[in-house]
Amino acid sequence: MKIWAGMILTAALAGPAMAQNKPAEPPSPQDILDRSGAASWRNIPAEDLVVMTLADGGQVIYQLAPDFAPVHVANIRQLVRSGYFDGAVILRVQDNYVVQWGRPDEDPTKPAGIDETPPAEYEWPLKGQKFKPLPWRDAYAKQAGHIASWPVASDGKTGWLVHCYSLIGVARDVAPDTGSATQLYTIMGHAPRHLDRNLAVVGRIVSGVEHLTARPRGTEALGFYKTDAERVKIVSARMAADLPAGDQPHWQILDSDTPTFDAWLSARANRSGAFFVKAAGALDLCNALPPVRTKP
Amino acid sequence: MKIWAGMILTAALAGPAMAQNKPAEPPSPQDILDRSGAASWRNIPAEDLVVMTLADGGQVIYQLAPDFAPVHVANIRQLVRSGYFDGAVILRVQDNYVVQWGRPDEDPTKPAGIDETPPAEYEWPLKGQKFKPLPWRDAYAKQAGHIASWPVASDGKTGWLVHCYSLIGVARDVAPDTGSATQLYTIMGHAPRHLDRNLAVVGRIVSGVEHLTARPRGTEALGFYKTDAERVKIVSARMAADLPAGDQPHWQILDSDTPTFDAWLSARANRSGAFFVKAAGALDLCNALPPVRTKP
């Protein structure tokens, strides 16, 4: 008997159960990843990775999505390189919703050259893009699937990045073109899909999301923290590409255009093994975020 | 301009924006709750509420679902009344998945009379039940909706409680009939719907979920904690009905069989107001958990 990520075992059993193995069972999602070849994985470019270090030692690494929100991503790279986020703070933690970080007030250290009114990069024409829809229904959109390993929903004409757990977006004021990327948020909790097409989704956390999601929830409206003492500092945010070669993280993401990904999806939709009495036979887009790993 | 729960405002604006108000906007989900009459709310019986107090002072209150998992709920009431959970611990916190609590090992203090092999109360015939489906698609089931304010999915013949954020289930071993309710878990993160119909869902946290979800994630496999020092103690778990009258909490849940609930659903599916540029026009079942409140 194998243990599956999806099992809810009693604690006493979790240890012994994991030590056993019945090879006759169909491969689990993890088996499929373990057997995958290097060609099933995309390298995430160092120019798309930001390494954020928190005052308590936590490290959060996130991937940018320049193909979908190029102006916002250009702003983020510039803000990071100018040191804008060094000394910024975690502003807000709202349970089952978002974690937001940045500076509490407008700040004079913002670098020149930032696009203060970026276009609303919330959706884009699907034409010419390799959109690979899931074979299952989506509660919110005509189709849900992936483009280059990103979770995308579509009405058949346009596509948009979806507010799944660990995805990153740009906070804004009331007017849609007011989010210059000085404040970012990540989703934690059940995907708040009503935000789709209303904010620019610009990336995804690939490592250390728990350093944001396990924090005390803010007690002010919308989960904002009340006092400076509650706001954990961001010591630094760096483009991975700017780090010394030996310090650069190397991450890969499962390529959504490979048979390995299809097999992984299918195994997740149809859990088998001794624990499961009924397979779901479907998978929600936000339960189908392509796995990531450090480059072996 | 009103602030909406769904807004991701920059921090500087959140204060001033909340002070203003434009009455011409359609009612928000919160407006609808604010204007609702007492008849739109169900009282949660004290016999269905468990009050769990943690060693760090956190209080978690959860509602039991005796109509859907009567044998498991009878076990929970008996375990609570015997003091079984007093001195139990939080065993496991796995990011974007579950928090699990109980005793690490089988324990001699378990009261006699517990059904050690409860039936698999995972789904039940829908016949004769007032199932109210949502008008939107569900990724996993033919229909999704509510019975008596509980989130239920259905294939048209049977119904089952859904593993939404804050719902509570019973951990078990590999055989389906091995979860006596000595270990419970709650969902945090994007709904792991592959667990539906594979475990007994027995309740929902109505207050204090953040005392479970904001904890450090466990570092062992499946998020189990490694050491006793990491495992926060449950000081006590009590049936609300057994508390002195003055200490009893009184909670209400929005009645899913009322026009107020329909209006609330519709407002959540079609967010309006100055912030939103595009309404989703749909709502996932796990984004449609009926709100709760203390009895006014």
Closest CA to A196 of A257, A285, A101: A285
Number of A to B CB contacts under 8 A, please give it.
228
Q: Say which of B93, B194, B277 has its CB closest to residue A271.
A: B194
Q: What is the DSSP string of A215-276?
A: SPPP-SGGGB--SGGGS-BEEEEEEGGGS-GGG---EEEE-TTSHHHHHHHHHHHT--STT-
The three-class DSSP label of residue A36 is coil
Q: Where in chain B is the domain with CATH 2.40.100.10?
A: 47-249
Judged by CB atoms closer than 8 Å, whether chains meet at A268 and B194 is answered as: yes
The three-class DSSP label of residue A3 is coil
Interface-testing mutation among B22, B163, B194, with chain A (most A C-beta atoms within 10 A): B194
Q: Say which of A176, A216, A221 has its CB closest to residue B277.
A: A176
In this prediction, residue A285 carries a pLDDT of 98
Interface-testing mutation among B18, B123, B190, with chain A (most A C-beta atoms within 10 A): B190
CA-CA distance, B223 to B237, in Å (whole number)?
23
Judged by CB atoms closer than 8 Å, whether chains meet at A8 and B139 is answered as: no
B138-142: which pairs have CB atoms within 8 A and are 24 or more residues apart?
Answer: B138/A137, B138/A139, B138/B284, B138/B285, B139/A136, B139/A137, B139/A138, B139/A139, B139/A282, B139/A283, B139/A284, B139/A285, B139/B193, B139/B284, B140/A280, B140/A281, B140/A282, B140/A284, B140/B193, B140/B196, B141/B196
Task: Check pLDDT > 80 for residue A24.
Answer: no
Query: Both ends of chain B: CA-CA distance in Å?
Result: 28
Whether B260 and B294 have beta carbons less than 8 Å apart is answered as no
Mean pLDDT of the region A78-106: 94
Judged by CB atoms closer than 8 Å, whether chains meet at A139 and B282 is answered as: yes
Residue A120's Cβ-side half-sphere holds a number of Cα atoms within 13 Å equal to 16
Q: Which A residues, 123 through 162, put their C-beta within 8 Å of a C-beta on chain B?
A: 136-140
Enter the pTM of the model.
Answer: 0.93
Judged by CB atoms closer than 8 Å, whether chains meet at A277 and B122 is answered as: yes
SS3 for A127-163, per residue? CCCCCEECCCCCCCCCEEEEECCEEEEECCCEEEECC
CATH superfamily ID and name for A45-252: Cyclophilin-like (2.40.100.10)
Closest CA to A17 of B227, B224, B84: B224
Question: ∠ at Cα A112 (A110, A117), nearest 5°?
Answer: 85
In this prediction, residue A85 carries a pLDDT of 95
Q: How far is A6 from chain B (nearest CA, A)?
A: 7
The residues that bridge with A89 in the sheet, in sequence order, are A102, A233
pLDDT by residue for chain B (296 residues), tens only, comes to 233 345 566 655 554 444 444 446 789 999 999 999 999 999 999 999 999 999 999 999 999 999 999 999 999 999 999 999 999 999 999 999 999 999 987 666 788 889 989 999 999 999 888 999 999 999 999 999 999 999 999 999 999 999 999 999 999 988 877 789 999 999 999 999 999 999 999 999 999 999 999 999 999 999 999 999 999 999 999 999 999 999 999 999 999 999 999 999 999 999 988 889 999 999 999 999 999 999 99
Q: Where in chain A is the domain with CATH 2.40.100.10?
A: 45-252
> What ipTM was reported for this prediction?
0.92
The three-class DSSP label of residue B235 is strand
Q: How far is B62 from chain A (nearest CA, A)?
A: 17
Judged by CB atoms closer than 8 Å, whether chains meet at A284 and B190 is answered as: yes
Q: What is the DSSP string of A67-112?
A: TT-HHHHHHHHHHHHTTTTTT-EEEEEETTTEEEEE-SS--TTPPT
Q: Report the chain B residue with the minimal C-alpha distance to residue A104.
A: B11
The residues that bridge with A153 in the sheet, in sequence order, are A144, A160
In this prediction, residue B274 carries a pLDDT of 87
Q: Say which of A14, A192, A210 has its CB closest to residue B217.
A: A210
Q: Which B residues, 25 through 64, put their C-beta within 8 Å of a C-beta on chain A?
A: none
The three-class DSSP label of residue B145 is strand
Place of tokens 């339960």: A287
In this prediction, residue A110 carries a pLDDT of 82
Interface-testing mutation among A194, A227, A275, with chain B (most B C-beta atoms within 10 A): A194
Cβ-based burial of B274 (10 A; exposed 0-12, middle 13-18, buried ≥19): middle
CATH superfamily ID and name for B47-249: Cyclophilin-like (2.40.100.10)
Task: Check pLDDT > 80 for residue A105.
Answer: no
